[in-house]
């Protein structure tokens, strides 16, 4: 069964450093989402792509976060500079219809 | 925007008992309501979903009910087993192609 892939699984960085996360959605899924999940809470949308276009980035802190999906397939989420409050799980999901399939996430710890 | 509230935040039941988790939503335009199970350190997995044109859906020991008038929906797990222990999230969205708005989760513990 096809799954969403993410890397790295874990990332430890110091504040003010740059970090990048990668997501490979299920083949053929046009819609890709990046969510942030703070410990003890539900995932919250950061950015949504339809193919290579951004559909919703209203909750993305654009002063430090950026996301791209250049060829409409895999995607990269970047944080520069990282802050202590960015420590969280970053989940990628993809969908063809209503059902969203999640990747295993990247757990980020900012020291 | 959509606001989803979920209760309780923690739930402990004995094996074989039933568990019920309740969610409310604020946007009457929402019409898709999935439930995800997330085990420790693992990805959220869809366990059941319901659309606004349906009042109830069942899949073996799991059922979901939806009351659109009251804007609330519930997850029912019968004959609970220790492997049901996990965090469960409810979510709501407008329809296909829209992001999910999640509740804060319910940590379910099933004790043998």
Q: What is the DSSP string of A79-103?
A: ESS--GGG-EEEEEEEESSS-EEE-
Determine, for residues B99 and A56 on separate chains, whether the beta-carbon distance falls below 8 Å.
yes
pLDDT band for B41, please (50, 70, 90 cuts).
confident
Of A31, A41, A97, which has the smallest distance from its Cβ to B104's Cβ? A41
**Residue-wise pLDDT tens digits, B57-100:** 999 999 999 999 999 999 999 999 999 999 999 999 987 778 99
pLDDT of residue B52 exceeding 90, the answer is: no
pLDDT of residue A40 exceeding 90, the answer is: no
pLDDT of residue A49 exceeding 80, the answer is: yes
Q: What is the pLDDT of residue A72?
A: 86
Residues of chain B above pLDDT 70, percent: 100
**In the 8-state DSSP scheme, what is residue A85?**
G
Take residue B69 and report the two structure tokens written for it: 């008038």
Which residues are CB-neighbours of B40 under 8 A, at least 6 positions away?
B86
Rounded Cα distance between A44 and A46, Å, is 6
Quick check: B93 and B30 in contact, CB under 8 A? yes
Mean pLDDT of the A53-77 span: 94
Determine, for residues A33 and B99 on separate chains, whether the beta-carbon distance falls below 8 Å.
yes
Q: How many CB atoms lie within 10 A of CB B58?
A: 12
Rounded Cα distance between B12 and B32, Å, is 28
């Amino acid at each position: 069964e096809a799954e969403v892939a993410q890397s790295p699984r874990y990332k430890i960085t110091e504040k003010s450093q740059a970090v990048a996360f990668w997501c490979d959605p299920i083949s053929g899924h046009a819609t890709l989402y990046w969510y942030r999940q703070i410990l003890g809470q539900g995932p919250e949308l950061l950015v949504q792509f339809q193919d290579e276009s951004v559909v919703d980035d209203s909750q993305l802190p654009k002063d430090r976060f950026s996301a791209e999906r250049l060829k409409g397939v895999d995607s990269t989420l970047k944080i520069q500079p990282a802050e202590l409050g960015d420590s969280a799980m970053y989940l990628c999901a993809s969908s063809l219809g209503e059902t969203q399939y999640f990747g295993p996430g990247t757990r980020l710890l900012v020291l | 925007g959509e606001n989803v509230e979920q209760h309780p935040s923690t739930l402990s039941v004995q094996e074989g008992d039933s568990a019920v988790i309740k969610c409310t939503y604020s946007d009457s335009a929402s019409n898709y309501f999935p439930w995800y199970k997330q085990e420790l350190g693992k990805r959220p997995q869809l366990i059941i979903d319901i659309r606004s044109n349906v009042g109830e859906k069942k899949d073996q020991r799991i059922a979901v009910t939806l009351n659109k008038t009251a804007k609330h929906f519930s997850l029912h797990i019968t004959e609970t087993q220790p492997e049901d222990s996990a965090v469960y999230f409810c979510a709501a969205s407008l329809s296909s192609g829209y992001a999910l708005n999640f509740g804060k989760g319910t940590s379910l513990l099933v004790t043998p």
